[in-house]
Amino acid sequence: MDENPFAPPRTEDLDGPVPTGDHGSLDDEAVRALRAAGRWSSLAAVLGLGAMVLLVVQGALVLGHQLSEPFARFTLLLNAVAIPTLGPLVWFSQGFARAVGGLAEERPRAVERSMEAQRRLLTVYAVLALLTSGLLLLGLAMGFLAARRGW
């Protein structure tokens, strides 16, 4: 330990800012982990966008062909839930990847922007997980009621 335990506390007013590395208070291992997460987040955004395109194409094909009505309704219902769910995930995943990209370029406030983007992404994941879980429970309850009533 290099610091004197009996020294008075440092203040930025008197002593100036605390010397830090290129990325503020993050150590190099944390920066590497954020960069790796950014690459995965970018890949997830691309895959999510691809899935959205495929779902739109699938919906168009279902509407364009005479398929059995229950299958068509079920497919369109799943698409109506999946596409709006994937949209925010793609958007915020790409935003996190862009923010983490600022670490590599050592832009000012890149660490703060990366942390904020990560917080927003995880918040969106949590909200969407709660919403989709609620929809799943609602669907299960409706299926149970339909079976009980003989619909």
Q: 102 near 114, Cβ under 8 Å?
A: yes
Q: Give the model's pLDDT for residue 19.
A: 47
Residues 6+ apart with CB under 8 A from 21: 27, 28
Q: Give the model's pLDDT for residue 54.
A: 93
Q: Give the model's pLDDT for residue 25.
A: 63
What angle, 0 to 180 degrees and rounded to 10, lies between the N-to-C axes of helices 69-104 and 110-149? 170
Q: Please report whether residue 17 resides in a domain.
A: no
How many domains in the chain?
A: 1
Q: Give the model's pLDDT for residue 89.
A: 93
Q: Give the model's pLDDT for residue 56.
A: 92
Q: Please report whether residue 9 resides in a domain.
A: no
Question: Tens-digit pLDDT profile for the chain (151 aa)?
Answer: 466 777 777 777 666 655 455 555 677 788 888 889 999 999 999 999 999 999 999 888 888 876 677 778 888 888 898 899 999 999 999 999 999 988 877 777 888 888 899 999 999 999 999 998 988 888 888 888 888 887 6
Q: Please report whether residue 72 resides in a domain.
A: yes
Name the pTM for this structure. Answer: 0.69
Q: Please report whether residue 13 resides in a domain.
A: no
For 30, the domain range is 26-149
Q: Please report whether residue 16 resides in a domain.
A: no
Please, how many CA atoms are within 13 Å of residue 64, restricted to the half-sphere of its CB? 6
